[in-house]
Amino acid sequence: MDETAAIARLEACGVIPVVVIEDASRAIDLAHALVAGGIDVVEVTLRRPAGLAALEAIARSVPGALPVAGTVVTPAQVQQVKDAGAKAVVSPGFSEAVDEALKAAGLPWLPGVATASDCMRAVAAGRIVAKFFPAETAGGPPALKALSGPFPQMRFCPTGGVGLNNLGSYLALPQVICVGGSWLVPADAIASGDWARVTRLAKEASEAFRALRG
């Protein structure tokens, strides 16, 4: 999948679940539960050892979901997530080494930015779609508005402290293509296999996005 198609898919989904998973055997049911609720992009982070296997399971067995690798912070991880079937990659920050590895791998990338300096590095590398992280700690919507002055070409996926309570304030900004959050995939729901709850949360988020963006 090329970058334009991947970004279009993220934008159409609107709310991207940030999955931290302890047991890869739950990944397929989790992804099906999200898709049933209207969320068809799944960001599986590499924060836990099970992350890579969970990403691979979703890529292999849930064709209705777009598998995205999150928390990719080293060049070595780039080939790992590509081999696992990731169609796009998200990182918490910007690294020239990771940028080069992703360009070589041909994978779309949303690097993490939080400051004007971060944005300058991203733009210099040709990266104009980024993850704004940690969104609330970095200043929230007012900070995004400020960054859009000197960087009008950039578009963002705010993540970190985003939830139903403040979704609207981010999606009201034209430079925001989507938001990311872990509230759709609570750790206790994954651990207990409460897929009905995950589907309900996904449906709430999807409906909120549709109401705000149409």
- pLDDT of 76-134, one tens digit each? 999 999 999 999 999 999 999 999 999 999 999 999 999 999 999 999 999 999 999 99
Using alpha carbons, list the distances in angstroms from residue 180 to 39, 70, 145, 205. 11, 11, 18, 11
Hey, which bits of the chain come out as E strands?
Answer: 15-19, 41-45, 66-70, 88-90, 109-110, 112-113, 129-132, 155-158, 179-181
pTM of the predicted model, to two decimals?
0.97
**pLDDT tens-digit readout, 126-168:** 999 999 999 999 999 999 999 999 999 999 999 999 999 999 9
| Residues designated catalytic | 43, 131
Domain borders along the chain are: 3-213
CATH of domain 3-213: 3.20.20.70
Residues 6 or more apart in contact with residue 62 via CB below 8 angstroms:
28, 31, 32, 35, 42
